[in-house]
Chains A and B, each alone.
Chain A
Amino acid sequence: MRNFYFKTFQRDSRVYLSRSSSFLGPIVFFLITITLYPIAFGSDEEQLAELAAGIIWISILLANLLSHQFIFNEDYKDGSLDLVLTSGKSLFLWASIKIFVNWYFSSLPLIFISIFTSFMLYLPFDAALILAITLFLGTPILSMFGALAGALTLERGNIVGSSIVIPLCLPALILGILAIQSYKNEELFFYIFLLAAFLFFSIPILIASCLGAIKLHFE
């Protein structure tokens, strides 16, 4: 039962749970950013309701990219990555598990919290549900892009990495916000379908690129 992939899963989950900073960091970042918007724009109910979808999506995008930047970094520095490479196991599955664990601990809590914050920003209930759906489809994309940024800059681990991938995340952001804005229309399903398609095609391409980027450091 305790095979390579299950161990990867357990290792990463325990590392995550053992450090409150990696678990709570994105949540704190997200809540603070959400709070900054009404302070900057004023607490006008109509205005905030209009901006709410964008505010939440942007805050989650930034929180997500920041938390996924170091996903392979620690394994690279402490030598765990060496052991993974000697094991001869499928790196694709290994990277997928790592990204999933990181998504589970850093993005999933944010999705639940975002439902509450959407009420604080006066987003209508129906739209808040759509928000949650788009985030479910969108945050894995953001996680994979964040992982790619981290994989590209393993040695340095700086802001360069995440700024490279933010422009590439744009379709997810636009589709997510469009879906929320058209929550009363039929177009909603079109945008959600497109977002799902984007996720579907991102998985193989982005994880393969992550592996390509990691291997650059072992030549």
Chain B
Amino acid sequence: MRQFFSQLISFPYFFKLAQLSFPYIFVISIFVILLGVSWGVFFSPSDATQGDVYRIIYIHVPAASVAQSIYYTMVVASITYLIWRIKMASVFMISMAPLGALFTFLALFTGAVWGQPTWGTWWVWDARLTSTLILLILYLAIISLFSSFDRRDSTDQAVSIIVLIGGINLPIIKLSVEWWNTLHQSASITLSGSSIDNEMLIPLLISILGFYIYVTAIGMRRMQIEIIKREITHNWVKTIFQEKR
């Protein structure tokens, strides 16, 4: 286990592993997403009060879930980087932040599209929407930090510091935003049991799973690109490109 982990954080080994597994993971993710979304859109029953509009949750909920999870994994990576100086952790943060921003935007966009027919407005200033918007701003701010240093180590460290501070602060922001406004309907999926119908829940869970696998695949690709950018002068990168030819 220990050996496997130490191999995983070495750039050449990870690169080869990602190169081998990317096509499979990518195809599986597309398949699972298609399964979940098409099941949800074509076969599950329509909602009693919202009709067919609600079906956008098969994209909205997975996107929102992925968007938040990416941030929490980045917090773990930032701690890893700050304590053990594992370069793979910073590669992970820098590769994932744009993905996080993208999915946060997707969640906000689908939420707006959903909100227009349901609540009659594109946007409401309620707790969950507001904290998602702040998450998006935080992602963009982190991305804007990528280019403000001459030294790459400094960039990595600055990004980890701000990701960590944001990670500590994010629950506080959420809590305070909730005090500020508690209008939103409470979360539908809870651990103790769910209030939505099984026939809607199963495709939703499949879709969520698909999104996570998709992010894993794309994240691996992005990490590969970042690794090549950093190691372009190293011999193992050169030999890989020579093999290709």
Contact = CB atoms under 8 A, between A and B. Distances in A.
A/B touching: CB–CB < 8 A? yes
Interface in A160-181: 160-161, 163-164, 166-168, 170-171, 174-175, 178
Contacts of B27: none
B162 A163 contact: no
A171 B169 CA distance: 8
B162 A164 contact: yes
Contact of A219 (B134, B142, B151, B164): B151
Interface residues on A, range: 20 to 34
A33 interface: no
Contact of B176 (A171, A205, A217, A219): A171
A209 interface: yes
B157 to A, nearest CB: 5
A164 B176 contact: no
B17 interface: no
Interface string A102-116: 000000000000000
Interface residues of B, number: 29
Nearest to A181: B180
Contacts of A160: 141, 144-145, 148
Interface in B157-175: 157-158, 161-162, 164-166, 168-169, 172-173, 175
Contacts of B166: 167-168
A107 B193 CA distance: 50
A168 B144 contact: no
21 contacts: A152-B145, A152-B148, A152-B158, A152-B161, A160-B144, A163-B141, A164-B141, A164-B144, A167-B134, A167-B137, A168-B169, A170-B173, A170-B176, A175-B176, A178-B179, A205-B168, A206-B165, A209-B165, A212-B157, A216-B153, A217-B154
Interface of B: 134, 137-138, 141-142, 144-145, 148-151, 153-154, 157-158, 161-162, 164-166, 168-169, 172-173, 175-177, 179-180
